[in-house]
């Protein structure tokens, strides 16, 4: 096995050219990038790449379609107020000479990819919010291309009816594929909307109270992903190993993540017994946040393999965390001196709901 | 005046180990790792789903008190044998009756790291069989070059490239060797063996050989510690 290199060193960078750019709804942009030398970027539906802007900023976005020979890479990007990339996109929308200009990308990355169903009758649930629809579209296309026979239901959440900028595409797919259903969901009291209301995870839980034979994919804000995971596992019997989600929110910069994401406090008891409060960014794992603070190593990179991110959770907070899956449970049991409140920090996804989380970094050899 | 020149790490910097370093224990983990790879390989059958094989491998490592790993467990079937480190496998690949697969594990036993990989075939496909054999043969040819020439890390992988090309394969340089030590070696040096300008010392480095067919969707992988011939009899 090779050493644990950061992703950029694994895949290297390559040059792409701007092929097309247009607005999507009120606050999103479609960006299409072509690879000038005609070679394909090999990726799996659901994966993402990093785009490196001339100004030095780097942003990660998921491909919005499954790989197709000769087709440009397509991304759906939410415009953020004062966002560096957002301003670049707005300028590009108004610049007639932007087409053909080159950018650098690296990747692909990510493992929120299409997984085979255990039985042909098993169902697939896709949960997306905003531009989180992009990787779900690629996953949906992959599932349909593989002639998946079980029902596939896509819930797309938005704030208002015109947020569903590619609803016509899904409606057309639903007409062609009897096993596919598209459910747009508005989470506000917009009186123009006659369809489903609420949150996408609630809609799925209401429609499918038994998800023991389902694969679920969730892409969107960290809080939606976290809520969906907890609700569908605890309420609908979803197997935790069959819940797939991006490890970070699409449209969030790697470099600027800490600045642009909500902050939360984590109260730590350190190995020497001292206490400390750290401010960390939501949208990443607790291991990544503590590693950035120099408080742990995370040797295997969050693969539930090495145990070097073992923490002990405060009893009052344990119930707020999704339960460990089989692999995490097995690894924790195999470490020396295991205790009931042990968890792997790499498996705790930081959301604003965890503000005030109390943990201890134990002084126990692994 | 304070110098801003970067300090180039020396061989002794990159070959440091932790306080728990113990050559005997590292060799013991090496043997446990090789044994585990062969036990896992013997349990893999045509018709098995790759994801199930990974789970089975993890179960078997857990049974052998090696559930911890400094990297994840990889079992790659068929076209996934071309995937490099960290790349997710194409899902749903079922092992065929005339197919190829490799195993790559990095268990941590007590305080010591293991690392090993090997490739196996399920049938008589001559190309796949030769690929698996060549990964091992290139590994040993490069190891001999290290023994006889005292070659540097860079020279070892230049030689490995030549060896692969001569046999009609492409060498994947994303997998180009690394340190091994008492856990974790990553706190000493995370870089590649192929990047070092000195002749690596015995027992401290892992030599990785990942070759791919130039056009067909399969490859082979072999890795083990850089050691003398006596350890490979």
Cβ contact B190–A331 (<8 Å): no
Cβ contact A44–B88 (<8 Å): yes
Q: Is B7 a member of any domain?
A: no
For residue B221, list its beta bridge partners.
B210
Q: Report the alpha-carbon distance of residue A2 to residue B80 in Å, rounded.
A: 17
Find the domain containing A57 and state its range: 10-109
The CATH number given to whatever domain includes residue B64 is 3.90.230.10
Name the residue of chain B whose CA is nearest to A297's CA: B187
Q: Do residue A225 and residue A131 come from a single domain?
A: yes
Position A261 scores a pLDDT of 56
The domain boundary residue, chosen from A109, A132, A155: A109
Average pLDDT over chain B reads 91
Number of domains within chain A: 3
Q: Is B8 a member of any domain?
A: no
Would an 8 Å CB–CB cutoff place B31 in contact with chain A? Answer: no
Tell me the per-residue pLDDT of B181-222, one tens digit each, with 9 for 90 and over: 888 876 678 788 988 899 999 999 999 999 999 889 999 999
Cα B212 to Cα A108, B161, B165, B184, B220, distances in angstroms: 20, 12, 10, 30, 6
Closest by Cβ to A1, choosing from B62, B117, B190 = B117
Cβ contact A2–B72 (<8 Å): no
Q: Do residue A296 and residue A354 come from a single domain?
A: yes
Number of domains within chain B: 1
Q: What is the mean pLDDT of residues A202-212?
A: 94
The domain boundary residue, chosen from A109, A133, A160: A109
Contacts of B190 in chain A (CB under 8 A): 3-5
Q: Is A252 a member of any domain?
A: no
> Which range among A137-141, A149-153, B2-6 shows the weakest confidence by mean pLDDT?
B2-6
Would an 8 Å CB–CB cutoff place B213 in contact with chain A? Answer: no
Tell me the per-residue pLDDT of B78-131, one tens digit each, with 9 for 90 and over: 999 998 887 788 889 999 999 999 999 999 988 899 999 999 999 999 999 999
The domain boundary residue, chosen from A109, A138, A169: A109
Q: Which residues contact A43 (CB under 8 A, 6 or more apart)?
A: A49, A63, A67, A107, A108
Cβ contact A299–B184 (<8 Å): yes
To 10 degrees, the CA torsion angle through A7, A334, A290, A267? 160
The CATH number given to whatever domain includes residue A185 is 3.40.50.80
ipTM confidence score: 0.75
Kindly state the percentage of chain A with pLDDT values over 90.
Answer: 37
Q: Do residue A148 and residue A235 come from a single domain?
A: yes
Taking a C-beta distance cutoff of 8 angstroms, is the pair A269, A359 a contact?
A: yes
Find the domain containing B125 and state its range: 19-232
Taking a C-beta distance cutoff of 8 angstroms, is the pair A238, A232 a contact?
A: yes
Position A58 scores a pLDDT of 66
* Residue A5 CB neighbours (<10 A): 17
Taking a C-beta distance cutoff of 8 angstroms, is the pair B139, B210 a contact?
A: no
Q: Per residue in B166-197, is it b (16+ CB within 10 Å) or e — as a string?
A: ebebbbbbbbbbbbbbbbbbbebbbbbbbebe
Q: Which residues contact B98 (CB under 8 A, 6 or more apart)?
A: B121, B122, B123, B124, B125, B128
Would an 8 Å CB–CB cutoff place B67 in contact with chain A? Answer: yes
Kindly state the percentage of chain B with pLDDT values over 90.
Answer: 73
Position A250 scores a pLDDT of 37
Q: Is B9 a member of any domain?
A: no
Q: Is A5 a member of any domain?
A: no
Name the residue of chain A whose CA is nearest to B111's CA: A366
Cis peptide bond N-terminal to A108, omega within 30:
yes
Phi-psi region of A2 (alpha: psi -120 to 50; beta: other; left: phi over 0): beta
Q: Is A256 a member of any domain?
A: no
Q: Catalogue the E-assigned strands of A252-302.
A: 263-269, 275-281
Cα B45 to Cα A3, B53, B88, B100, B103, distances in angstroms: 30, 9, 22, 11, 13
Q: Report the alpha-carbon distance of residue B147 to residue B156 in Å, rounded.
A: 11
Decide: residue A210, CB within 10 A, 0-12 exposed, 13-18 middle, 19+ buried: exposed
Q: Report the alpha-carbon distance of residue A66 to residue A58 in Å, rounded.
A: 23
Cβ contact B68–A299 (<8 Å): no
Closest by Cβ to A2, choosing from B68, B91, B176 = B176
Q: Is A117 a member of any domain?
A: no
Would an 8 Å CB–CB cutoff place B83 in contact with chain A? Answer: no
Closest by Cβ to A300, choosing from B72, B84, B91 = B72
Cβ contact B92–A330 (<8 Å): no
């Amino acid at each position: 096995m090779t050493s644990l290199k950061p992703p950029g060193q694994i895949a290297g960078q390559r040059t792409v050219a701007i092929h097309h750019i247009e607005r999507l709804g009120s606050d999103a942009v479609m960006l299409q990038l072509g690879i000038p030398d005609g070679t394909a970027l090999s990726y799996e539906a659901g994966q993402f790449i990093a785009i490196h802007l001339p100004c030095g900023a780097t942003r990660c976005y998921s491909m919005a379609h499954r790989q197709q020979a000769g087709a440009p890479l397509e991304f759906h990007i939410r415009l953020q107020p004062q966002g560096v990339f957002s301003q670049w996109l707005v300028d590009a929308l108004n610049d007639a000479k932007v087409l053909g200009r080159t950018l650098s990308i690296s990747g692909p990355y990510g493992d929120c990819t299409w997984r085979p169903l255990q039985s042909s009758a098993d169902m697939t649930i896709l949960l997306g919010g905003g531009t989180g629809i992009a990787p779900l579209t690629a996953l949906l296309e992959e599932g349909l291309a593989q002639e998946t026979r079980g029902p596939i239901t896509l819930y797309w959440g938005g704030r208002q009816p015109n947020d569903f900028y590619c609803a016509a595409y899904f409606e057309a797919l639903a007409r062609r594929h009897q096993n596919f259903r598209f459910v747009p969901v508005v989470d506000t009291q917009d009186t123009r909307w006659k369809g489903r209301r609420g949150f996408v995870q609630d809609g799925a839980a209401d429609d499918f109270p038994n998800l023991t034979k389902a694969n679920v994919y969730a892409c969107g804000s960290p809080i939606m992903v976290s809520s969906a995971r907890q609700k569908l596992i605890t309420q609908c019997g979803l197997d935790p190993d069959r819940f797939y989600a991006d490890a970070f929110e699409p449209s969030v910069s790697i470099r600027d993540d800490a600045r642009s994401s909500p902050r939360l406090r984590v109260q730590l008891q350190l190995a020497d017994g001292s206490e400390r409060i750290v401010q960390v960014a939501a949208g990443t794992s607790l291991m990544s946040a503590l590693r950035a603070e120099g408080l742990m190593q995370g040797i295997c990179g969050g693969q539930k393999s090495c145990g070097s991110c073992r923490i002990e959770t405060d009893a009052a907070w344990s119930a707020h965390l999704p339960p460990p899956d089989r692999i995490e449970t097995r690894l924790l049991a195999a470490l020396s001196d295991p205790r009931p409140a042990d968890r792997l920090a790499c498996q705790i996804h930081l959301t604003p709901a965890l503000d005030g989380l109390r943990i201890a970094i134990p002084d126990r050899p692994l | 005046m304070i110098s801003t020149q970067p300090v180039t790490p020396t061989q002794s910097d990159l070959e440091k180990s932790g306080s728990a370093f113990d050559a005997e224990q590292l060799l013991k983990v090496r043997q446990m790792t090789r044994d585990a790879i062969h036990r896992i390989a013997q349990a893999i059958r045509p018709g098995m789903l790759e994801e199930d094989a990974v789970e089975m491998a993890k179960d078997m490592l857990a049974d052998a008190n090696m559930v911890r790993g400094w990297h994840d467990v990889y079992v790659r079937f068929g076209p996934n044998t071309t995937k490099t480190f960290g790349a997710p496998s194409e899902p749903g690949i079922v092992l065929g009756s005339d197919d190829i697969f490799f195993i790559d594990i990095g268990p941590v036993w007590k305080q010591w790291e293991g690392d090993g990989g090997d490739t196996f075939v399920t049938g008589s496909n001559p190309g796949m069989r030769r690929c698996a054999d060549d990964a091992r043969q290139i590994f040993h040819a490069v190891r001999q070059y290290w023994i006889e020439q005292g070659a540097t890390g860079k020279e070892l992988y230049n030689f490995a490239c030549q060896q692969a090309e001569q046999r009609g394969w492409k060498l994947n340089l994303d997998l180009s060797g690394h340190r091994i030590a008492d856990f974790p070696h990553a706190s000493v040096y995370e870089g590649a063996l192929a990047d070092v300008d000195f002749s690596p010392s015995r027992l401290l480095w892992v030599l990785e050989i990942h070759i791919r067919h130039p056009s067909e969707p399969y490859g082979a992988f072999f890795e083990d510690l850089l050691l003398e011939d006596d350890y490979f009899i």
